[in-house]
Amino acid sequence: MDLLLQQTVNAFALGGTYALLALGLAVVFSIMGLINFAHGELMTISGYTLMYCGIAGVSFVLAVPLAIAVAMIAAILMERIAFRPVRNSSGATMLVTSFAVSMILQVLFQNFISTRSQPVLLPQILSDSVNVFGLIIGVNKIAAIATTIVMLVFLDIFMKRQKTGIAMRAAAEDFNVARLMGIRANTVIAGAFALSGMLAGVAAVLWVSQRSSVDPHMGFLPVVKAFIAAILGGLGSLRGAVAGGFLLGFIEIYLAAFLPPELQEFREPIGLSLVVVVLLFRPNGLIPAASLKSEKV
């Protein structure tokens, strides 16, 4: 029973990170119809910001908001430089553009920083563990779960009560009608990228805090998992992205913990098979978007 509870905590921590990344993808997709595969590089940028802050002696408390802010600025610049010029192009063009941006950033990381994994200085407290009702839980796991809850609450309030969030929801429902009502496309899309950058930055902090290192490909695997989570939850659905992220986290952690040793090498394909099974019964995802847009803006 203790093992089950322990692994459940781990699943919440990992699933929360996937959920934040999937939300970042879903926010942009719901408005632009774009799967931004360069989303993972925003994580990497945030990770390198943490690394350089550690080298410069900047306090981790200050480094965290700085890393998130840098990811937000990078996301806004990414939209302005790479995606805005091709906004009215086909979906394939925007998809290729996102791959190109991802590859360019990875090459820049490799040539101007390092091809190898670099250590990130973290506070000692993140390596400690605490006893919670008999369970030994890492502080970084508790921080990941608490941060995920705070971010989800913040996002819910932002989307329902803030003017920009309401505009994003309206644009996700029907962008053309939203524009006729006076909503500016550039402002809404830039806001969506800033929000996705913030979510990527927070996810990067959680990811780095559990691994203490950063490398040029740090964001690739998490964003692939987030993409799977977004499809699992319902592409374009914010609530679906959260549900898909947590479900994928639970599948991964439980398979790693309870799958027989002789089957551990097949853990990844078994996990993906379970995802496929879920999609067979829910082809549009767990919580599909109310209206999936067929046209870009």
Q: Under a CB-based contact definition with an 8 Å cutoff, are residues 144 and 152 in contact?
A: no
Give the C-alpha separation, 256 to 7, whole Å: 9
Helices 39-56, 185-211: crossing angle, 10 deg rounding:
60
The pLDDT-based confidence of 239 (bands split at 50, 70, 90) is confident
Whether residue 129 is contained in a domain is answered as: no
Q: Does 43 score more than 90 pLDDT?
A: yes
Site of tokens 């973290």: 122
Each residue's pLDDT tens digit, 207-237 = 999 888 999 999 888 989 988 998 888 877 8
Structure-block tokens of residue 145: 């779960």
Determine the pLDDT at residue 295. Answer: 42
Alpha-carbon distances, residue 94 vs 239, 243, 294 (angstroms): 25, 27, 14
Q: Who contacts 170 (Cβ-Cβ below 8 Å, separation ≥6)?
A: 177, 178, 181, 183
Give the C-alpha separation, 39 to 27, whole Å: 12
Q: Name which of 83, 109, 60 is nearest 218 in CA terms.
A: 109
Whether residue 127 is contained in a domain is answered as: no
- Number of structural domains found in the chain: 1
Q: Who contacts 286 (Cβ-Cβ below 8 Å, separation ≥6)?
A: 232, 233, 234, 240, 243, 244, 247, 278
Determine the pLDDT at residue 297. Answer: 41
Whether residue 261 is contained in a domain is answered as: yes
Whether residue 155 is contained in a domain is answered as: yes
Whether residue 94 is contained in a domain is answered as: yes
The pTM of the full predicted model, rounded to 2 decimals, is: 0.91
Whether residue 170 is contained in a domain is answered as: yes
CATH number, domain at 193? 1.10.3470
Determine the pLDDT at residue 117. Answer: 92
Each residue's pLDDT tens digit, 156-204 = 898 888 888 888 888 877 777 777 777 788 888 899 999 999 999 999 9
Q: Does 294 score more than 50 pLDDT?
A: no
Structure-block tokens of residue 35: 């799967």
The parent domain of residue 41 ranges over 1-118+134-293
